[in-house]
Structure 1
Amino acid sequence: MSEDRKMLEPMATVVSIALRVLLALVTLGVVFRTVHGGWGGGLVCMTDDSMSGSTGAERFFPEKGVSVDTIPHYCADSPSMSLHLMDEFSTLPSAVLLIGGLFLLHQLLKGAARDGIYTTRTASRMRVLGWWLLAGSVVAELIESNLKAAVLAELTTVETFSAASWLEMWSTPYLLILTGLGLLTFARITSAGAAMREDLEGVV
């Protein structure tokens, strides 16, 4: 399997280092905020991209013939604990998706280096990673857009929490969806290659 291991470099090493660094940063961040009482403190802010209007151009010094728009950015000076929790959790799904994706990619590369690239185990691990990115990105965006819409509804009297408000916060994760679909396709190809390899080894 040494040839397979060489083919997976430098990706395997980079992913392994990135996963360890990311986990260390997350751990340090949690410890720091716990020790210094960072949970439930500070401002809660949200930008309402759905609303904009023109403003005095003389304040921003644009070039001649260029208009300037303003987008409201709301901040609560003394937010409630529930508002803080919604704000904190509005970024958590993306973090879980990233860490989980790196972990599954690390397991995929490590397993491929050990078992071989064209094996059913490698195809299975690739399939798991593909579904994680495909389904996970949609679920993460769904949760985050709802939480951001809920936070914005608490910060302004203009917006209310509704289907329309969270759809305005929705941003389709095209790249992650396409990457997940690509991994599922390559998993099928790898599985077919593993089956052909087993057939050839049986003939020999």
Structure 2
Amino acid sequence: MTTRLTKVLASVSFGLAMLTGLTFAGTAVTHMSDDGSVCVETGFWANASLKDGLPLGDGVDASSSAARLCQEAPSIGQRAADLGGQLPWLLLSTLALLHFARLLNSVLEQGPFTDTVARKLTALGWLIAVGTPVAGFVVGWSHSWLVGSMAPIVGSGPTVSGPLVLILAGLAAVIMGKIMREGVRMREDLEGTI
């Protein structure tokens, strides 16, 4: 029963990884080839009145009720920065799901308490622990740059956004991988002495 569940979970994880990977590629291609406007929301001036006007770039439409800026004919950099708010999380999800599927396949092939499984669990933990703040920084920087490109005075410094609690989950996986590796070594030492 457990083996069947692990096989199903490995297959579902791999399928989801492929789906998010295709979403990543499709979003990148369609967004860069799109000729529509690029919009970004900012809370900097949500309660401000626009009657005096903000120093907006050419072709930028601003709405104070939604704190939203829209560029009618965005540059390649603006389109890429808009994409930078979406793609990092898709990429991190794809990589984490692929690595998780590989981890589960190793469990099926070799058993749960092996050095290979411990190493893959540690690597998955590091991927999540390091990838989460990196993706959050890329998203925050892209958003800040995009706002600054549309309304230069409104732009703020880069921030880190996203579910940063995932760092703790990643570090927990790193610790569990290290504990499993020590357990594997102890078991091998015990088998060697008997």
Classify the TM-score, shorter chain: 0.7 to 0.9
* 1:112 CA drift (Å): 1.4
* 1:84 CA drift (Å): 1.0
What is the RMSD of the two structures over their aligned residues, measured on CA atoms? 2.9
- Which shifted more, 113-122 or 21-30? 21-30
Instruction: State the 4+ residue runs in structure 1 displaced beyond 6 angstroms.
Output: none
| Residue number in structure 1 paired with 2:137 | 142
Q: Is residue 203 of structure 1 aligned with residue 193 of structure 2?
A: yes
- State the TM-score, normalizing by the size of structure 1: 0.75
| Residue number in structure 1 paired with 2:116 | 121
Q: Say if 1:91 and 1:144, in contact at 8 Å, map to a contact too.
A: yes
Query: How many equivalent pairs are there?
Result: 180
| Residue number in structure 1 paired with 2:157 | 165
Q: Is residue 190 of structure 1 aligned with residue 180 of structure 2?
A: yes
Identical columns (%) = 22
Aligned equivalents of 2:27 and 2:88: distance in 1?
21
Q: Say if 1:76 and 1:155, in contact at 8 Å, map to a contact too.
A: yes
Q: Is residue 72 of structure 1 aligned with residue 62 of structure 2?
A: no
Q: Relative to structure 1, is the Cα distance of residues 186 and 133 closer, same or farther in structure 2, using a 3 angstrom cutoff? A: same
Q: Any gaps of 5 or more consecutive residues in structure 1?
A: 1-5, 56-68
Q: Is residue 96 of structure 1 aligned with residue 91 of structure 2?
A: yes
* 1:165 CA drift (Å): 2.6
Q: Say if 1:87 and 1:147, in contact at 8 Å, map to a contact too.
A: yes
What SS does the aligned partner of 1:174 have? coil
Q: Say if 2:88 and 2:138, in contact at 8 Å, map to a contact too.
A: yes
- State the TM-score, normalizing by the size of structure 2: 0.78
- Which shifted more, 90-99 or 75-84? 75-84
What SS does the aligned partner of 2:158 have? helix
| Residue number in structure 1 paired with 2:46 | 52
| Residue number in structure 2 paired with 1:64 | none
